[in-house]
Amino acid sequence: LTLKVQLQTLDDHCTIGVSTLVDCGATSEFIGEEFVRVNNLPTRKLERPIPVYNVDGT
């Protein structure tokens, strides 16, 4: 299932229109590194990295 949504950054409230994939089996929200780079989205390093696994546990 895909939806068209508006993303808004928390720091400068910049808005970006995108199509998103809704995955009912996902355990969190994810965004691709290339999307972040292309759209110049700000990032910050977390104190503790969040482990990410494939559906098969790898």
Residue 11 in domain: yes
What's the pLDDT score for residue 11? 86
Q: Quick one: pLDDT at residue 5?
A: 93
pTM of structure: 0.65
The pLDDT of residue 23: 77
**CB crowding 14-52: b at 16 or more within 10 Å, else e:** eeeeeeeeeeeeeeeeeeeeeeeeeeeeeeeeeeeeeee
Identify which of 40, 42, 38, 35 has the alpha carbon closest to the alpha carbon of residue 21.
35
> End-to-end distance of the chain based on CA atoms, in angstroms?
25
Q: Where are the alpha helices (DSSP H) in 1-58?
A: 33-38
Q: Is residue 50 part of a domain?
A: no
Residue 46 counted as domain residue: no
Q: Supply the pLDDT for residue 6.
A: 95
| Number of domain units in the chain | 1
In a domain, 45, yes or no: no
Residue 14 resides in a domain: yes
Q: Where in the sequence is the domain holding 22, given as residue range(s)?
A: 2-38
Q: Kindly give the confidence (pLDDT) of every residue in the chain, 58 residues in length, as a single tens digit, with 9 standing for 90 and above.
A: 889 999 998 888 989 999 988 877 777 777 889 999 999 888 889 999 988 888 788 8
